[in-house]
Structure 1
């Protein structure tokens, strides 16, 4: 997929009368998606594929009370300032709501602008607990809060016998938050978190640090592909570290590019993914169609995209396109998504309406068959 700076993907604006629809102007949803570097392009493509498929399904079922649903897509390129500007533009254009975004820091900027403008925003993928500085009625989220997911990952580490855990971390609010969650959860349970500052360490120097600190696990709290891929290659090639576990709680191994760049070295790297043990009928159907559209297995991010539109379409059908009424409807949502029943609630410490029971897995790629995933732990 190619993307221009002002990429716009819009579904047809008119629907013909065919017994289930009537002619009418479209209902627009603004979609924020990273589609160019330095954004995580593969994640953006999966997110967009899910959003677009759900729009197609909504329109095939009659749209929003006879009006076609339409996506207006803006490429955030992982840039918070660009995302905030896109929210301003989409609000002026008259979209009924915002959807999407993968990167937590970008979603935080978008959520702040949506809150200030009174524009409903259903965030698809970003997990940062403090998505907004203050509690807001305008923003809801499908992905689990980082604190919940990363605590489940910490439980997995302890159950696998790891108590001396190194984190190779870059500087960002997201990575700092993840390191803090791990430290706070593991310390009372006998675990130690050793932080390696990737602003000053080269990937090869990480190996010496791991040996010196007697770490049994290394977690990648860094960007992909740089410096995650070079770090993995360096560690895998160091005979002193043959027994160390490499982990990536942020989910880098979920996407095919991971295996393309790392081959066998990318297997057995546990990560967080937000899928149930078994998909229901809707999830299975969506998985089949998304696999055809993407020419590869859909990631959990693609399902997050589909579920985002499914929820917004249900709200818009039930409560109309008034922005205030949409925001007021978050606590009354009850929608069957691809991964279970979606409902929002207020969760202590979380500033937005939260789907509290998002399914969470710790999984990895099978060393014997890197295209196959193994579920190692659930929460």
Structure 2
């Protein structure tokens, strides 16, 4: 799949296109809603770059590959895109897939700007080829833990599925909360039915249950079950990975899906660029754009600046990570080596804890910032 570099009324171009490979989950079992928003942001960014004259008079072209949340499929896509002459890779939402993409890009000497995957250990060893736009999990999930503590929650239960990402999140929460007098109990979504999960929550006396599981299954049935159990009326349900961000959550759960705090990466108020992009993304998507759509747009903004200022060969792109500074939709973007990190990192994007307002589930409430 390729996004055409030309649009109606676009600037006339000279020379072949400058190609970026985009890795996006567009089919199940990937998180399709997130993939759709990510691609909308990437495509809008490319259109605006080309409307402004492209890259040195050459059009920017997006070569899109559907990862379907499959690491092997993503690795194959990296090899294909490298052979098709892309100057850089962008995208991916799922951390386990992005980790494979980062390793493949590093081995191929191909710059990769990771858009939305937060797993700290994106690569095993430090690499000059990979940069990341979204915050590291250890940063943003500590913000979520601060929200829990501030709201008076010390006894936390997490319901999990097997995954490097969920395991890392559980470890971050457990360590941080323990240092502040809290505790985390882990419940296996595969071993417990929703009814049995309710019994465990009631027995343990947890005041908050965090959903470290896939959406819609098993997250939706778990929420319905907890909401319907009078014993658990005071239990906060949270979803740090952001499941309630997308419209599908509200469509499936209605009022039951409100009041579920989650992380998103937007400022309290968008500036002029962010507001303009928000309106255009809303038009493209037919709904309110998620933070993932803004991440997609900002990814192209960064790559376009790198390509214009530092050249279009792969080594020059990778060498520019520590020197680029771009005004994005959510703030000024630059990259550094975060302590303990193995990739170039924007430290840090804005982090919010929000939920859907129980009085109007289509509206978001800001609960905490970090």
TM class, shorter-length? over 0.9
2:98 pairs with 1:139: no
1:191 is matched with which residue?
182
1:237 and 2:228 correspond? yes
Per-residue deviation at 1:320? 1.3
Residue 12 of structure 1 pairs with residue 30 of structure 2: no
Tell me the residue number matched to 1:203.
194
What is the alpha-carbon distance in structure 1 between the residues aligned to residue 68 and residue 190 of structure 2?
22
Q: CA deviation at 1:298?
A: 0.1
* Post-superposition offset of 1:204: 1.8
Shift of 1:11: 1.4
1:152 aligns to 2:143 (yes or no): yes
Shift of 1:13: 6.6
- Which of 328, 332, 352 is 2:343 aligned to? 352
Q: Which residue of 2 aligns with 1:336?
A: 327
- Counterparts of 1:22 and 1:355, CA distance in 2: 32
| CA–CA distance in structure 2, aligned partners of residues 219 and 365 of structure 1 | 16
Counterpart of 1:50 in structure 2 is 41
Q: Partners of 1:14 and 1:216 in 2: how far apart?
A: 53
Counterpart-to-counterpart distance in 1, 2:133 and 2:48: 20
Runs of at least 4 residues off by over 4 Å: 13-16
Q: Report how far residue 10 of structure 1 moved.
A: 2.2
TM-score by length of 1: 0.96
Report the 3-state secondary structure (helix = DSSP H, G, I; strand = E; otherwise coil) of the residue aligned with 2:2.
Answer: coil
Q: Secondary structure of the equivalent of 2:3?
A: coil
CA shift digits 1:263-320 (9 cap, x unpaired): 0000000000000011011100000000011010000000000000000000001111
Does residue 180 in structure 1 map to residue 171 in structure 2? yes
Q: Give the Cα separation in 2 of the matches to 1:77 and 1:109.
A: 13
Change (3 A) 1:132 1:183: same
Q: CA deviation at 1:39?
A: 0.3
Q: Distance in 1 between matches of 2:7 and 2:139?
A: 43
Aligned-partner Cα distance in 2 for 1:190–1:287: 40
Q: Is 1:365–2:356 an aligned residue pair?
A: yes
**C-alpha displacement of 1:325:** 0.8
Distance apart, 1:22 and its partner CA: 3.6
CA distance in 1, matches of 2:92, 2:318: 18
Q: Provide the rounded CA distance (Å) in 2 between the counterparts of 1:102 and 1:21.
A: 33
Tell me the CA shift for residue 202 of structure 1.
Answer: 1.4
- Measured after TM superposition, the shift of residue 182 of structure 1 is 0.1
Aligned to 2:210: 219
Partners of 2:234 and 2:207 in 1: CA distance: 7
Would the alpha carbon gap of residues 357 and 12 (structure 1) be closer, same or farther in structure 2, given more than 3 Å must change?
closer
Q: What residue in structure 1 maps to residue 17 of structure 2? A: 26
Partner of 2:118: 127
User: Aligned pairs, how many?
Assistant: 370
Q: Is the 8 A contact 1:14 1:26 kept in 2?
A: no
Provide the rounded CA distance (Å) in 2 between the counterparts of 1:377 and 1:240: 27
Cα distance in 1 between the residues matched to 2:151 and 2:85? 51
Could you tell me which of 317, 320, 324 is aligned with 2:311?
A: 320
Partner deviation per Cα, 1:166-197 (whole Å, 9 max, x = no partner): 00011100000000000000001100100001
Where 1:98 maps in the other structure, the secondary structure is strand
Does 1:171 pair with 2:162? yes
Unmatched 5+ residue regions in structure 2?
A: none
Q: Distance in 1 between matches of 2:98 and 2:277?
A: 25
Q: Distance in 1 between matches of 2:287 and 2:72?
A: 32
Of 287, 290, 297, which aligns to 2:281? Answer: 290
Q: With structure 2 as the length reference, what TM-score do the two structures score?
A: 0.98
Asked whether the 8 Å contact 1:14–1:24 carries over to 2, the reply is no
Q: Distance in 1 between matches of 2:81 and 2:13?
A: 26
CA shift digits 1:11-40 (9 cap, x unpaired): 137999x8x654211000000000000000
